[in-house]
Structure 1
Amino acid sequence: MYFQHAPRLWDEHPDLVAGTVVVTDGITPDADVRARVADFTAVALARLADEGTEAELPEIRAWRRTFAAMGLKPTQYRCASEALLRRVRKEGSLPSIHPLVDLCNAVSAAFAIPVAALDLAAVTGGLTVGPADGTEEYETFGGEIEHPVPGEVTYADEAGRAHARRWTNRQSGRSAVRPATRSVLIVAEAMHETAVSDVPKLVATLADEIASLWPVSPTTARVTASAPRLDF
């Protein structure tokens, strides 16, 4: 399997910094992540208290500029980390879905960087982040099938399935982490000025947390314009 960004994406977004965590087996739904989720959520709340709303954070401003450049209204389509921070600000906590998802969401909120967690068993061949041709099938969490708009940035596999829409806006229900999930690909992507140091820190943090909570040995990597493909 592989993960990569299309060359066009690197050309159009030279500030992109992306990192990955891969776990090939061993994820289970019974890990207790509540304490760690609470700690990372507290970090997010403290930062919001210090710096204002999520829209004022440099990580979120960078994604808003990116969405606007793609023709998307930033207040209609938010990157995943902005949506999480908005919920944290309004409700003080995040919903519990699955231990791994809960951990990824809390870390994403703490760093204000979008994090995608995908069940590798639902991915065919590999994933390419790039513009859609419009024939890809995207499955919502409710089971409906949608087709991305041609040119829309998606996570597409070799079977023509889109595992995310509008880049970091919304993941697919097809590859969502569920109780039966054992292997995962986790991706963090950012565009802000300090992303080159923040993304590796986030990736290392997630890998360490996962290794302490499950009997697994995560592998981490950074993908770049000069080394855009990760094979695993």
Structure 2
Amino acid sequence: MYFRHSNEMWNEFPDLVPGALFVEGITVDVAITDRIAKFHAIAEKRLTGSSEGEMPEIQAWRRTFSKMGLKPTQYRCASEALLRRFRQEKSLPLLHPLVDLCNAISIAFAVPIAVFDLAKISGDLEVRHATGSETYLTFAGETEHPEPREVIFADGADQAHARRWTNRQSGLSAVRDDTRSVLIVAEAMHEAAGGDVPGLVATLVAELTAVWSIQAKTKVLSCSSPRFDL
């Protein structure tokens, strides 16, 4: 199995810097309260100086959404949505230790992070434009079909595991209590992404090692090296 962005995506979005991690051995019986608290504190400090919409990481994704023909204040990238909720509620909902940790790191870096249960993905996973025939399962259990040319995470069975790129993941491959193997993807577009994404990946590796005592396989992708073999 491999993960990649299509050639067309690289041509349209040359500023993209993605980081990917493959992890096996995830469990739910771990304590992460103190670990997520330190990342929440970083996010809170950043938000005292400016709103999430003023952060360069978020502004870059807003420009990307506009380029895709989406209204950026209607469809927000995942990190902006999390930051917005965190600013309003001073907390984030607790869902699963791995998801909670990734969400905390996401708001600290202001970079969207997706986590996919690999057991629910058929074949390879590619970020590409939709044909309109793919299926997407909502968290409510409803089936949708992405619009033609919409950016999605698509697997070999034409299942869309995320819609509108970094806007919303699918309920199909969401992390659950029985999840053991995952693909984690972080994507950034801002000017400093070339340094920030490797830093984010290193942070994730350190936390995964400390919490689960597992070793992650990682790669920062590029146009010249776009494929991550799991």
Sort the TM-score into its range (normalised by shorter chain).
over 0.9
Structure 2 unaligned blocks of 5 or more:
none
For residues 176 and 18 of structure 1, the distance between their equivalents in structure 2, rounded to whole angstroms, comes to 20
Question: 1:170-203 CA deviation, whole Å, 9 max, x = no partner?
Answer: 0000000000000000000000000000000001
What is the CA–CA distance in structure 2 between the aligned matches of 1:82 and 1:142, rounded to whole Å? 22
Q: Which residue of 1 aligns with 2:149?
A: 151
- Take 1:31 and 1:145, find their aligned partners in 2: how far apart are those partners? 33
**Partners of 1:30 and 1:82 in 2: how far apart?**
29
Matched, 1:49 2:32: no
Shift of 1:215: 2.8
Mapped contact 1:204–1:220 kept (Cα < 8 A) = no
* Distance of 2:171 and 2:32 partners within structure 1: 22
Map of 1:28 onto structure 2: 27
Structure 1 residue ranges (4+ consecutive) displaced by more than 3 angstroms after TM superposition:
none
| 2:175 corresponding residue in structure 1 | 177
Q: Match for residue 230 of structure 1?
A: 228
Q: Contact 1:131–1:152 (CA<8 Å) still a contact in 2? A: yes
Task: For residue 163 of structure 1, give the secondary structure of its aligned residue in structure 2.
Answer: strand
Q: Which amino acid aligns with 1:222?
A: V
TM-score of the pair, normalised by structure 2: 0.99
Distance 1:49 1:112 in 2: 14
**1:30 counterpart letter in structure 2:** D
> Is 1:141 equivalent to 2:139 in the alignment?
yes
Identity %: 61
In the alignment of these two chains, the number of paired residues is: 230
Give a deviation string over 1:122-145, Cα, whole Å, max 9, x none.
001110001000011000011100
- Identify the range of structure 1 (76-85 vs 27-36) with the bigger mean alpha-carbon deviation: 27-36
- Does 1:131 find its partner at 2:118? no
What is the correspondence of 1:1-232 to structure 2 with a 5 Å cutoff?
Answer: 1-23=1-23, 25-50=24-49, 52-232=50-230
Q: Which amino acid aligns with 2:20?
A: T
Q: Could you list the runs of 5+ residues in structure 1 that have no partner in the other structure?
A: none
2:176 and 2:153 map into 1 onto residues whose CA distance is 19
- Residue 41 of structure 1 aligns to a residue whose secondary structure is helix
Per-residue deviation, 1:222: 1.1
The 1-side partners of 2:220 and 2:51 are apart by 29
Whichever residue aligns with residue 218 of structure 1, its letter is: A
Q: Please give the root-mean-square deviation of Cα atoms over the aligned residues, in Å.
A: 0.6
Letter in 1 for 2:30: A
How far 1:31 moved relative to its partner?
A: 1.2
Counterpart Cα distance in 2 of 1:106 and 1:72: 26
Q: State the alpha-carbon separation in 1 of the partners of residues 160 and 102 from structure 2.
A: 21
